[in-house]
Structure 1
Amino acid sequence: MKIAIRMDDITPAMDREKFYRFKELLDKHGIKPLIGVVPECKDEKLDISEPIENFWNFVKDLQNSGWVVAMHGFNHVYTTKEAGIFPIGGKSEFAGVPYYKQDDMLRVGKRILRENGILTDIFMAPSHSFDKNTVKALKKNGFSCITDGFGRAPYKRSGIVYYPISSRRSKTLSDKRDGITTFVYHTNTMDEKEFADFEKLLETAKVVSFSELMDMQATQQGILGYICEYILAKAKYNIVNLRKSIK
């Protein structure tokens, strides 16, 4: 199984030191990731370093070099506890929010990116949480892809292409089948062990640029596939919460 890399929470005030450390490892191996850029970040937890000057030029340079850009929510502020149609998280900026408001957030967010020279049709939901109204509003606003779902190849559902993430990393690493899935990273919160593990991953696993996943043919997902994915996502969420409660 091949692995593509997704980086969440790209903002002007992200932890620059950790970002560049992560980027240096990617550059060493010639890997171009997917990055989730927050159009108008109001999440104070993501304010870690002094803001990057000319942030949008910085993002545009990454995109021009082959990095793939997704719109990562709008403000990255959670307003509901809805899990949505991919219930891997228990909070959301979008799921449970009225359609008209989601439509407005997506329209304004995409306009901010466009006015700063960033074009994308890929959406990355904060906490992986979105609902049917999100999908409806995404299509209205020119988005055709979502980075979420489980699997080893892109699939289509409700007129949207999904680029899957790994349900369990250890299982992915031992999977000898053909295919590509995505490992998700939040560089702001990575510690020394996580950096060491990532460096080992790049050296030992079949890590590829995200564009290789995008070049794969997407297949249509049926209702049975969605039900299995929903159950797996819900189980993963429950296991994570159980581990937290034990700690």
Structure 2
Amino acid sequence: MSKYILRLDDASDYMDIEKWQRMENLLNKYNIKPLVGIIPENQDPALVGVYERDPLFWDKVNRWKEKGWELAPHGCNHKYITEDGGINPVNKRSEFAGVPLEEQCSKIRTGMKIFREHGIEPRIFFAPSHTFDKNTLEALKRESDIRIISDTVANDVYYQDGFYFIPQKSGKVRKLPFRVCTFCYHPNMMKNGDFEYLEAFLKDKYSNFVPVQDIEMEKKSMSALDKVLRAIYFAKRR
């Protein structure tokens, strides 16, 4: 049976509070424990310029933590400063890919400091727009104990360059045959129909969804199938 992970991106003190609450209520209903990407120091004008600041945001984050939700740094400030796709070129824009190592170290260090100030020691990282490079991995090694990345295309979790990679394949739930599938949602951008579609899927497939901590981590390399899937995926994107 495929194992599904629900990932929620762009949580921060600038977000659509009503939509995030609707998502939380829905996941509570089906006992789904998601992976949540938190922007530690949000400077993205598409978010900061749209939503009012929520002074109680980190109280909410700690409530999620108590529920067993997995909390991860989603970059540092969510500002795109290059047009580099890095080693996972899902998009041609990045906060990290193509950025010098010391600057990336500073970003990771800043994000980790904010998490720790709120009593959270994250285990997982994923970059805005899915784009990062070798320097990002080195920065994580230098500035944190994080050794798990939620991103890249594969059939199953694999181990490379000192990190476990949990594959992320789709921006909406769907029945997929792969061993591990992460579905990435952005609650700020969801419409009513998106919530309804998600609930219909959860109602039927809730037993497939597992928290990240239940995913088996083995030091196994990317398989031949993983490499084929990756090649096909990026060929189609091109």
Q: Give the Cα separation in 2 of the matches to 1:159 and 1:174.
A: 28
Counterparts in 2 of 1:146 and 1:195: CA distance versus 1, 3 Å: same
Equivalent residue number for residue 27 of structure 1: 28
Please point out which of 46, 56, 59 is paired with 1:57.
59
Give me the CA root mean square deviation. 2.1
* Per-residue deviation, 1:155: 1.4
Query: Could you state the TM-score of these two structures normalised by the residue count of structure 1?
Result: 0.87
Residue 36 of structure 2 aligns to a residue in which SS? strand
Equivalent AA in structure 1 for residue 8 of structure 2: M
Equivalent AA in structure 1 for residue 149 of structure 2: I
TM alignment of 1:72-83, pairs within 5 A: 72-83=74-85
TM alignment of 1:126-145, pairs within 5 A: 126-141=128-143, 142-145=145-148
Counterparts in 2 of 1:108 and 1:225: CA distance versus 1, 3 Å: farther
**Partners of 2:14 and 2:42 within 8 A in 1:** no
* Identity in percent: 35
Question: Which moves more between the two structures, 77-86 or 197-206?
Answer: 197-206
Query: Could you state the TM-score of these two structures normalised by the residue count of structure 2?
Result: 0.90
* Per-residue deviation, 1:230: 4.4
**Partners of 2:158 and 2:222 within 8 A in 1:** no
* Per-residue deviation, 1:157: 0.7
Question: Which moves more between the two structures, 52-61 or 127-136?
Answer: 52-61
**Partners of 2:123 and 2:148 within 8 A in 1:** yes
TM alignment of 1:116-155, pairs within 5 A: 116-141=118-143, 142-155=145-158
Equivalent AA in structure 2 for residue 76 of structure 1: H
Equivalent AA in structure 2 for residue 12 of structure 1: D
**Partners of 1:91 and 1:129 within 8 A in 2:** yes
Counterparts in 2 of 1:60 and 1:88: CA distance versus 1, 3 Å: same
Equivalent AA in structure 1 for residue 199 of structure 2: E
* Per-residue deviation, 1:145: 0.7
**Partners of 2:155 and 2:229 within 8 A in 1:** no
Residue 70 of structure 1 aligns to a residue in which SS? strand
How many residue pairs get aligned? The number is 234
Equivalent AA in structure 1 for residue 32 of structure 2: I
Q: Give the Cα separation in 2 of the matches to 1:107 and 1:223.
A: 33
* Per-residue deviation, 1:151: 2.9
Residue 72 of structure 2 aligns to a residue in which SS? strand
Equivalent AA in structure 2 for residue 53 of structure 1: P
Q: Give the Cα separation in 2 of the matches to 1:75 and 1:236.
A: 30
Confirm whether residue 70 of structure 1 aligns to residue 72 of structure 2: yes
Equivalent AA in structure 2 for residue 66 of structure 1: G
- 1:126-182: per-residue Cα shift (whole Å, max 9, x none)? 000000111111111222111012234321111001111125868x6152x6x3311
- 1:9-31: per-residue Cα shift (whole Å, max 9, x none)? 00112011111111111100001
* Per-residue deviation, 1:209: 3.1
Equivalent residue number for residue 45 of structure 1: 46
Q: Give the Cα separation in 1 of the matches to 2:218 and 2:104.
A: 26
Residue 202 of structure 2 aligns to a residue in which SS? helix
Residue 3 of structure 1 aligns to a residue in which SS? strand
Please point out which of 90, 93, 107 is paired with 1:91.
93
Counterparts in 2 of 1:230 and 1:102: CA distance versus 1, 3 Å: farther
Counterparts in 2 of 1:66 and 1:114: CA distance versus 1, 3 Å: same
**Partners of 1:29 and 1:202 within 8 A in 2:** yes
**Partners of 1:13 and 1:50 within 8 A in 2:** yes
Equivalent AA in structure 1 for residue 21 of structure 2: Y
Equivalent AA in structure 1 for residue 138 of structure 2: K
Q: Give the Cα separation in 2 of the matches to 1:167 and 1:55.
A: 27
Residue 78 of structure 2 aligns to a residue in which SS? coil
- 1:215-240: per-residue Cα shift (whole Å, max 9, x none)? 313342248567545424423433xx
